[in-house]
Amino acid sequence: MDSYPAVEDHGLIGDLQTAALISTDGTVDWFCAPRFDSPSVFGALLDRRNGGHFQLSPDGVDYTSKQLYLPGTPILITRFHSADGVGELLDFMPVTGAEATERHRLIRLVRMVRGSMRFRFHCHPRFNYGRDSYELEVHPEGDVFRSPTMTLTLAAFKNSLREFDARDIKRDTDGVSASFTLHAGDIGGVVLETACPHAPRALSTDEACDLLAETRDHWRRWVGGSGYKGRWREVVERSAMTLKLMTYAPTGALVAAPTAGLPEQIGGQRNWDYRYTWIRDASFSVHALLRLGFTDEAEKYLLWLDARIREARDGNLPLQIMYRIDGSPDLPEEVLGHLEGYRGSAPVRIGNGAAGQLQLDIYGEALVSLELADRNGLIAPYEGWRKTAGLMDWLCAHWDQPEDGIWETRSGRQDFTYGRVLSWVALDRAIRIARRRGRPGDIARWSAERDAIYEQVMTRGFNQERRAFVQHYGSDILDASLLAMPGLNFISPTDPMWESTLRAMDTGLVSDSLVYRYDPKASPDGLAGTEGTFNMCTFWYVQALALAGRIDDARLTFEKMLTYSNPLGLYSEEIAPTGEQIGNFPQAFSHLSLISTAAHLDDLLDQQG
């Protein structure tokens, strides 16, 4: 447990309230309970020695392993190959439902395909990010780890009990470990449960297999509701399931990623906690969900967004850029100095101090989702529209000021071009809704401010020497967020000002089809070090190429991007220069933009005939 697996060497499982990451050697490296944003129980991803883990893998034999998902599900299969046989580990979490609960189950089912193999498991929890101690209670059918804040129950399958030699079971301050041998056709395994209301009870093999079948059928029914039948159906459906896994069912809120502290540069300090709901990310989810036909999920998020808008207007406050999954605005940032960080990448942060930043673009993203929903029959109720109109009045009075920008830089506020563009988008979409539905609003004021923003961006956001729209007024710095401009109908993709901007980005931000957000050396962002290419920006680049008529370039770039996923079809936030995935994993932005880009490319390719 001293070495760190690559970020992409993990699969994601979950129950729609929390999730776990499991590496190719069968180790649960990350698991928070009872919610995505709760403290970790297993956090070896951030400290191999002190973070806690739950490993189940072959014992005393050389093996290779491969991972795949059971088709149409997020049930993770890790296959172990050795000279003595082949075994499979199936990891899954039964779906919890839409009522918040502290009780969650992680089932680890092992079946021997051929030959025989000895397995060992080691359950080594470290509660509250490794800060809390625990007491171990031994029961006839399992063990209970009891910390000051939670209990964790571990029990083997009943038919596995006979495979255990009591002398092989070890219980100490490092947790519980045991070994067992399976032969061809045998099934064994263990169940981990949080907040179990009764003493440990060993499941029978039949009970475990029934839970497996129920979980399988649930996910296949869900993904079967997708309306996407395009060229990239398999990768699109995997992205959809990944996004669903990162959605907190009780509120419909989507976390940006289920992890915290994974670095954007190994050994660097760009290590953030992404287990929260960004207005921006979640609003983009409406586009993806509606394109796939998942109306219920889009509607539930819109209800969550409506509640945030109402709270902001009731307090005469702007929207916060991110919230906890239950809508709470409190995300104090804290450094966990006792954890070394992934591959020594400290500091490890929880909470997120960027929550208090002013980012004007979130109003545009929110209104784009509301207007798209409105066109699809998801019409805002009276009170929701009244608060949204009030938010537009606030934006009219506050758009023309320096802000922190989409990338959450910590070097001071600027007049960011993207923030201005999205402020224009917000007012434009609000006007569309008001006119379509005959809703009350100060349309004259909104129109005047919208037009003023447009003129300002076109005159101050475009650098004549660089022949490109730039990151902020008065600079010559390119910024990949501006790739969204033609897709938002702010500018025509054939406008000479945009064509020259795209050419500038081709040479200034694109590296072998992958796209950097910006150059930190040219635009200091308050943090040391560099970062990789940003996956969402690469997908935006594909869409920009397609809109500019460069369809062949767009398709090739998209196909190249598909090669950077891990074997399970999962994407982190960024790609390092070495080609490995870095940043929090998996990342909602990456999967949202993959879905939207695939659908957009399908439409254009179909038009070509």
pLDDT per residue as tens digits for the range 5-57: 999 999 999 999 999 999 999 999 999 999 999 999 999 999 999 999 999 99
Longest dimension (CA), the chain: 80
pTM: 0.96
Cβ neighbours of residue 315 closer than 8 Å, sequence gap 6 or more: none
| pLDDT of 269 | 86
Q: If you average pLDDT over every residue of the chain, what do you get?
A: 94
Digit-coded pLDDT (tens) for 85-118? 999 999 999 999 899 999 999 999 999 999 999 9
Residue 166 has pLDDT above 90, yes or no: no
If pLDDT is split at 50, 70 and 90, which confidence band does 129 have? very high
334 pLDDT more than 70: yes
Position with higher pLDDT, 40 vs 269: 40
Q: Please name the residue ranges forming H helices in 1-45.
A: none
Q: What pLDDT, on a 0 to 100 scale, did the predictor assign at position 519?
A: 83
Q: How far apart are the C-alpha atoms of 11 and 79, rounded to whole Å?
A: 13
Measured from the Cβ of residue 191, the count of other Cβ atoms closer than 10 Å reads 23
- pLDDT band at 412, cuts 50/70/90? confident
Question: Tens digits of per-residue pLDDT, 464-482?
Answer: 999 999 999 999 999 999 9
Length of the chain: 609
Are 92 and 76 contacting, i.e. CB atoms less than 8 angstroms apart?
yes
Say yes or no to pLDDT of 160 above 80: no
Say which residue, 526 or 573, is predicted with more confidence: 573
Instruction: Give the closest residue to 412 by CA, choosing from 319, 276, 272, 523.
Output: 523
State percent of the chain over pLDDT 70.
97
Tens of pLDDT, residue by residue over 179-220, are: 889 999 999 999 999 999 999 998 899 999 999 999 999 999
3-class secondary-structure state, position 285: helix
- Can you tell me the distance from the alpha carbon of 565 to that of 561, in angstroms, rounded to the nearest whole number? 8
CB under 8 Å, gap of 24 or more: what pairs does 181-185 form? 181/116, 181/117, 181/118, 181/119, 182/87, 182/110, 182/111, 182/112, 182/116, 182/117, 182/119, 183/112, 183/115, 183/116, 184/85, 184/112, 184/113, 184/114, 184/115, 184/116, 185/112
pLDDT tens, position by position, 216-234: 999 999 999 999 999 999 9
What counts of helices (H) and strands (E) characterise the chain?
14, 30
| 250, burial (CB in 10 Å: exposed 0-12, middle 13-18, buried 19+) | middle
- CA–CA separation, 277 vs 325, rounded Å? 6
Is the per-residue pLDDT at 2 higher than 90?
no
Alpha carbon distance 525, 528 (integer Å):
8
